[in-house]
Amino acid sequence: MKAPRFAYIRPESLDEVLELLAEHGEEARILAGGQSLMPTLNMRLSRPRLLIDINRIEELKGISFEDGTVRIGALARHAEVMDSPVVAEHLPMIAEAMPHVAHVAIRNRGTFGGSIALADPAAELPACAVALGAEFVLASARGRRSVAARSFFNGLYETERGDDELLIETRIPAIEPGYRSSFMELARRHGDFALAGVCCHAKVDGNVLSDVRLAFFGSEDRPRFADAASAAAEGKAWSDDVKDAVKEALGGDLDPIGNFHASAATRLHLARVLTGRAIDRMVAAG
């Protein structure tokens, strides 16, 4: 199982990357952590002409906090995000999600940007980004733009990113006072992609929820923001009735895809159970 032939280039500057992308477009593939791209190459499921290795581009590295926003460089490794005090303090949901992402050796190489750009529907980080209202900064030879997480993911491995664009960073608003997050996922085995996963974020006052944001992964072909379920909890004191209403509403939000790991009905059921538990835990955390 050996990768097909391809050419390789390791630019030293961002501009060089953008020029190469402009020139080669879909013939080229960005190589970040390689933890998703390399398996598809080894399996010969993908056959790019050119790999553009971005691992030496300094601007893409690092995690920082400024003006209420956390900036996660596209090349920030999962392990770095997991151990980051900035993330622990300002993005507790992501800190909670990280241990569920793959395993140690993979986290040592896999990148935040790679996970977002890949857009695996069962991945944790895209859904966190959707729940937390993240913005993705894309750069190309044409210029830069910023896309809201909620309109970035278009389908299975499909995003708003153009073939000539590079994801350079993710900007996520830091958690504000009075807010809490909760993350839960169910996988067949620890570290596997999810059968169902929920990211909850809300202002919690006593047991009253507001600004409720629920996002789901492992269910549809992309991370899904659950408008109806979020609305069902909005302004409510958390109770069994509200829980039932949220679960009920979720049926209108989610249209899960079944496969051999679990059917659509099971995935919806699991998403409902997890949602109830995740909010229980979020409220109880006070």
Footprint on this chain of ligand FAD (rule: CB under 6 A) = 29-37, 39, 74, 101-102, 106, 110-111, 113-115, 117-118, 120, 123-125, 161, 166-167, 191-193
What lies within 8 Å, CB to CB, of 94 at 6+ separation is 81, 87, 125, 128, 132, 172
Binding mask 107-146 for another protein (x = CB under 8 A): -xx-------------------------------------
Strands 179-186 and 135-140, how do they pair? unpaired
Q: Is 240 in the site for another protein (CB under 8 A)?
A: no
Decide whether 249 or 271 has the Cβ nearer to ligand FAD.
271
105 touches, from ligand FAD, another protein, none (C-beta below 5 to 8 Å by class): another protein
Q: Is 102 in the site for another protein (CB under 8 A)?
A: yes
Provide, rounded to whole angstroms, the least separation between the CB of residue 164 and another protein.
17
Binding mask 191-220 for another protein (x = CB under 8 A): xx--x-------------------------
Q: Is 88 in the site for another protein (CB under 8 A)?
A: no
Decide whether 135 or 220 has the Cβ nearer to another protein.
220
Provide, rounded to whole angstroms, the least separation between the CB of residue 167 and another protein.
19
Provide, rounded to whole angstroms, the least separation between the CB of residue 267 and ligand FAD.
16
61 touches, from ligand FAD, another protein, none (C-beta below 5 to 8 Å by class): none
Could you count the other beta carbons within 10 Å of the beta carbon of residue 277?
14
Provide, rounded to whole angstroms, the least separation between the CB of residue 28 and another protein.
10
Provide, rounded to whole angstroms, the least separation between the CB of residue 64 and ligand FAD.
17
Partnered with residue 204 across adjacent β-strands are: 209
3-state secondary structure the chain: CCCCCCEEECCCCHHHHHHHHHHHHHHEEEECCCCCHHHHHHCCCCCCCEEEECCCCHHHCCEEEECCEEEEECCCEHHHHHHCHHHHHHCHHHHHHHHHCCCHHHHCCCEHHHHHHHCCCCCHHHHHHHHHCCEEEEEECCEEEEEEHHHCEEECCEECCCCCCEEEEEEEECCCCCEEEEEEEECCCCCCCCCEEEEEEEEEECCEEEEEEEEEECCCCCCEECHHHHHHHCCCECCHHHHHHHHHHHHHHCCCCCECCECHHHHHHHHHHHHHHHHHHHHHCC
- Total site size for another protein, rule CB under 8 A: 48
Q: Is 264 in the site for another protein (CB under 8 A)?
A: no
Q: Is 156 in the site for another protein (CB under 8 A)?
A: no
User: Given the rule CB under 8 A, which residues bind another protein?
Assistant: 1-10, 31, 34-35, 38-39, 41-44, 50-51, 53, 55, 79, 99, 102-106, 108-109, 186, 188-192, 195, 260-263, 266, 269-270, 273-274
